[in-house]
Each structure stands twice: as C-alpha cells, then as structure tokens.
Homo-oligomer: A and B are copies of this chain.
Amino acid sequence: MRISDGVEWAVHVCGVLAAAPKGQGVPGLKLAEFHELPPAYLAKQLQALSRAGIVAADRGVKGGYRLARAPSDISLLDIVLAIEGTGPVFRCTEIRQRGPCPTPPAACRRICPIARAFLAAEAVWRTSLAGVSIAEMNRAAAAESFDDKRRHQFEAWIADAAR
C-alpha cells in the first residue's frame, strides 16, 4: 500500500502554478524542467489533473497549464483523488459468502464491521487531507525555505516560463 509518485509531482506542480502570473499558462515541458521530471510522464499526470478540473489547459503556441480555481480552493485530497482515482483503498471481495459456513445473502445487505472500520478510517484520512489547501502549503513553504535571493531567482524563472 503505497501512494504513487505522480501525486507528489502533481502537488509540487500545483504549487508552482499557484505562484505563476495570473492569466498566463506554463507549458508542461517547463514544469517538468523545474523539478527534473520525465516530461512525457508528467504530461500524463497533468492530463489527469485537467480531467479532474483542477488545472485548465490551453493549446497552441501561447498555451500551457494554469490553475482552474483559486489556490485556496484546491486541497491535497482533490489532487490525490485526481491522480490515484476515487475508489476506496479497501475493497471487499465478499469472501464471507463462500466456504462451508457462508454468511447468508440476507445478512449481507449492509456492509460488515470490518469494511465499516476501514471506510471510517479512510474517511478521517480524507478529511485530514481535505483540510489543507495549496495556498496554505505555499505560504508555509515560502516562510520556511525562501530567502530574498531565492525568491528573486524563482520569479525570474517563472516569468520566463509563463506565456
């Protein structure tokens, strides 16, 4: 049970896009270059973000990716669900209905205590991730690891990358 690398990439990319000039798009190639990621594979993750309505994509020579909504309105959970899919982590194969002493179908109308416990645990996990937004993380990251020099370096880079 491990989380895909694409989730980490997507979170970082959204952080960069949140800091990009309003109304301008950043090409996927530039985003890949920023973190030294495989461009073609990152493009696939960006497609998933686009399908989920988290980023918007403009094609053509002045195209690129930009956030589809405000950074404060995009949570970690949104990104995880976009990349990993919305299905539950624990999925039941109904083995209780098999074997020499099966649970009768009538008793299987409601999910069993085991599945309930896993769903409840996933619910609090999702709630926790839903509570932190891109905007908050960018603010925290800037305060912790940006000095004036690096901030200027970043702004120069993104001014060149944005279209």
Chain A interface (Cβ < 8 Å from any Cβ of B): 1-5, 7-9, 11-12, 15, 33-37, 76, 80, 84-85, 87, 89-93, 95-96, 98-101, 103-104, 107-108, 110, 112-114, 117-118, 120-122, 124-129, 132, 136-137, 140-141, 144-145, 150, 153-154, 157
Residues of B within 8 A of A37 (CB): 95
Residues of B within 8 A of A90 (CB): 3, 7-8
Say yes or no: B3 contacts A89, CB within 8 Å.
yes
Cβ distance A139 to chain B, nearest Cβ, rounded Å? 9
Residues of B within 8 A of A136 (CB): 113
* In the complex with contacts A124-B125, A137-B113, A95-B35 CB distance below 8 A: yes
Say yes or no: B122 contacts A141, CB within 8 Å.
no
* In the complex with contacts A92-B8, A124-B124, A137-B117, A99-B145 CB distance below 8 A: no
Say yes or no: A99 contacts B1, CB within 8 Å.
no
